Amino acid sequence: MIQIQSFVFSPFYENTYLLFDDTHEAVVIDPGCYELPECNELKNFIQQNELKVVKLLNTHCHIDHVFGNQFIKNTYGVKLYMHAQDVPTLKGNKFASEMFGMKGFVESEPDVFVEEGETITFGDSSLEILFVPGHAPGHIAFVSKPQKFVFSGDCLFRESIGRTDFPNCNHQDLIDSITQKLFPLGDDFTVYSGHGPTTTIGHEKKFNPFLN
> Domain extents for the chain?
3-207
Q: How far is CA 20 from CA 2, 125, 126, 163, in A?
A: 6, 8, 10, 30
Architecture of the CATH domain 3-207:
4-Layer Sandwich (3.60)
Dist. CA 80–CA 134, nearest whole Å: 21
Q: What is the pLDDT along the chain (212 residues), one digit of tens a residue?
A: 999 999 999 999 999 999 999 999 999 999 999 999 999 999 999 999 999 999 999 999 999 999 999 999 999 999 999 999 999 999 988 888 888 888 778 889 999 999 999 999 999 999 999 999 999 999 999 999 999 999 999 999 999 999 999 889 999 999 999 999 999 999 999 999 999 999 999 999 999 999 98
- For the chain, strand residue ranges (E) read 3-9, 14-20, 25-29, 52-57, 80-82, 112-113, 119-122, 125-131, 140-144, 149-153, 156-157, 160-161, 190-193, 199-200
**What pLDDT does 131 receive?**
98
**What pLDDT does 99 receive?**
82
Query: Does the pTM exceed 0.85?
Result: yes
Q: How far is CA 83 from CA 35, 57, 98, 135, in A?
A: 26, 10, 24, 14
